[in-house]
A = this chain, B = another copy of it.
């Protein structure tokens, strides 16, 4: 080793711990169009010189880098932490970096300031230094007009005949400092390298109300189209359909997952593929492709998006088993291997083999499927069991699709351990299912939501809080009756910007197939229901969706603060924004009235006395910082949604 060979010495400025950065920048942070991206870093150098810094950013369509100034943040953010921001107004990958340098004029001015304050009078030498800096700055500013002012100031600083006070006042002029900052030489600048990435999606990736239904229970595509006005009036944004493809006949499952199906049993929509086609076909019992296209168009006209289920698995009758046996697992005797999780066997399902020799052909074919539906206007995909397919495949697929269609949203059904759930979110899934259905007590909910909202996870993982799914009817709902449904609905709709309901929830359906099971009795997965959209919970659902659209504080995740409550059967939290504060108090006990003290802490920055209005009941209450009494009777209402009225 020897002295570095560069002509200029290495930069003296350090840029450390830049944020937001996911796993050292290996993954992108997430944002939505219109967001302000706040970035920060520790920026410092040796010695006492002043520094200057900018955040540099570049959107997908920008021809070059743009800049916004960074400022030293208040001490509570941490000493030497600087912050800046930029607004993302376009979907796609935005890059950002930081440049920081020694502020020569600022450093000189700071020293002069302290000498003037100390009454030092022999400043000719200092002012001559300042003049030299101004002249160099003037040379750089030559083309932009500020040069004259800089030159004049330089001349005055050097003029030993002029009054000292006039010379120092000119030197310390804040406006002159601004001109110098604009034309800074950026001497010894340091760069944050490589740049970080923010993946910007449209707003629906963060905020939306989902409804899930089996089209066959509503009369197929045409029947579903007939429900659109009702769904739109209820304020739903996304209508998610389980797989709409032809269903296998061989080893088809019967009602309640029976091993042998009756002649009239329709089979599980997740057993994809029959003689009628595979993942690019529709189940003829639902209608034709054209019927589907009409549904997508009609939904769009109602402001609703159709979300399709992307389930990579094949029934025994899927065309791929004949056309591409090389994509499946084989036993030593050459036969295909069905799916199993010993001792369970899924004889109606064949998984593809991502380790097969023609994995590239398989990836391309799966990509084709997604593009097929994208071409038919679908922009939202709910991905079935993504944690049983390779991470690298998903990363590639999502990037590939979003190159041409940056508006496509992928929801991961990541019912798996935390590490793979997080990995799928990091690699590109817009949203993820979560452990919400299993979090029912106050401590469980607070820990669960705090991790999502405040642990750093909020930078890349957007939860979609489904209150139920065709696979999950939690014991809390089985045991709690209608009050339990109201409580879970309000929790989901107010804790998370995105939440979802699976059909039947509004009817308080709560009978499990057997004690201890989370499966529905007579599950819609294996039979056709005759459903109507008129359940008793719909008015509350509609009102909640309306409130969610009206109040931006419910459209973000990271603005939640849990409030102390002196009764563990109650949960309380504030959702805060620049313009308003909403206080939510919910009774978690579906069986009995609960009362207690909710504490409004001073750190919320609210006035000492609060006029609040309940957005659900309409009542007005007078609350205050500190202790507030609440009583909630589940027979009457599950919650208060208290909007803090602006001070008169």
Which residues of A approach B to under 8 Å, CB–CB?
1-4, 9-12, 14, 16-17, 23-25, 42, 44-48, 79-80, 111, 114-115, 117-118, 120, 125, 128-129, 131-132, 188, 331-333, 335, 340-343, 354-355, 359-360, 363-364, 367, 386-392, 396, 399-400, 403, 417-420, 423
Contact = CB atoms under 8 A, between A and B. Distances in A.
B14 A391 contact: yes
7 contacts: A1-B396, A46-B386, A79-B418, A80-B418, A80-B419, A80-B420, A129-B332
B118 A343 contact: yes
Instruction: Find the residue from A46, A48, A341 having the highest chain B CB count within 10 A.
Output: A46
A588 B45 CA distance: 37
A364 B3 CA distance: 7
Contacts of A14: 391, 419-420, 423
Protomer copies: 2
Contact of A331 (B129, B188, B333, B389): B129
A359 B5 CA distance: 11
A25 B25 CA distance: 12
A310 to B, nearest CB: 15
A355 B400 contact: no
Contacts of A24: 24-25
Nearest to A403: B1
A114 B391 contact: no
Nearest to A128: B332
Contacts of A419: 14, 16, 42, 44, 79-80
Given A80-B419, A419-B16, A115 B360 contact: no
A388 B118 contact: no
Contacts of A45: 391
A480 to B, nearest CB: 29
Nearest to A333: B125
Contacts of A4: 360, 396
B125 A417 contact: no
A547 B193 CA distance: 48
A16 B25 CA distance: 13
A352 to B, nearest CB: 12
Nearest to A131: B332
Nearest to A124: B333
Contacts of A343: 114-115, 117-118, 120
Given A118-B342, A120-B342, A125-B331, 14 more contacts: A3-B364, A3-B396, A4-B360, A9-B354, A9-B392, A16-B419, A42-B419, A45-B391, A46-B388, A47-B389, A79-B418, A111-B340, A114-B343, A115-B343
